[in-house]
């Protein structure tokens, strides 16, 4: 079993920043961890993926240049730094494990996972 726990969500004004955390624990190590989000009435959207084996990262076009994914391997925690937030970024944000056979680019386009966190709400509003 693997557990993922997100934190760091909240209410922020447009143009502001938030840093989400995803603490990963359990019996299986995943080198790749990804972030997704789901807004009300919309499908889940893949945002970013990091591969700790080589440091590679990948971003969806909707967040490229504004969001940054990183990982503290010692603490097995993945972060999503979100800058220049917009009202359309309002959603529940989830982290998830990414199987090794899935290229990060593929996963961001089709985010599937064996393990998901419970989600953290991000609201961007003035």
**pLDDT single digits (tens) 9-26:** 999 999 999 999 999 999
Query: 24, 32 in Cβ contact below 8 A?
Result: no
Report the Cα–Cα distance between both ends of the chain, in Å, rounded: 40
Instruction: Quote the pLDDT of residue 102.
Output: 87
- Judge whether 33 and 81 are in contact, CB under 8 Å: no
Q: Would you place residue 113 in the very low, low, confident or very high pLDDT band (cuts 50, 70, 90)?
A: very high
């Amino acid at each position: 079993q693997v557990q993922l726990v997100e934190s760091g969500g909240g209410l922020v004004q447009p143009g502001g920043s938030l840093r989400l955390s995803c603490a990963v624990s359990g019996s299986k190590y995943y080198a790749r961890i990804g972030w997704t989000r789901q807004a009300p009435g919309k499908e889940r959207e893949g945002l970013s993926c990091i591969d700790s084996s080589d440091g590679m990262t990948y971003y969806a076009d909707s967040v490229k240049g504004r969001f940054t994914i990183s990982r503290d391997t010692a603490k097995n925690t993945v972060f999503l730094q979100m800058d220049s937030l917009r009202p359309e970024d309002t959603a529940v944000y989830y982290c998830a494990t990414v199987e090794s056979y899935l290229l990060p680019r593929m996963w961001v386009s089709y985010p599937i996972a064996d393990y998901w966190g419970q989600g953290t709400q991000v609201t961007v509003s003035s």
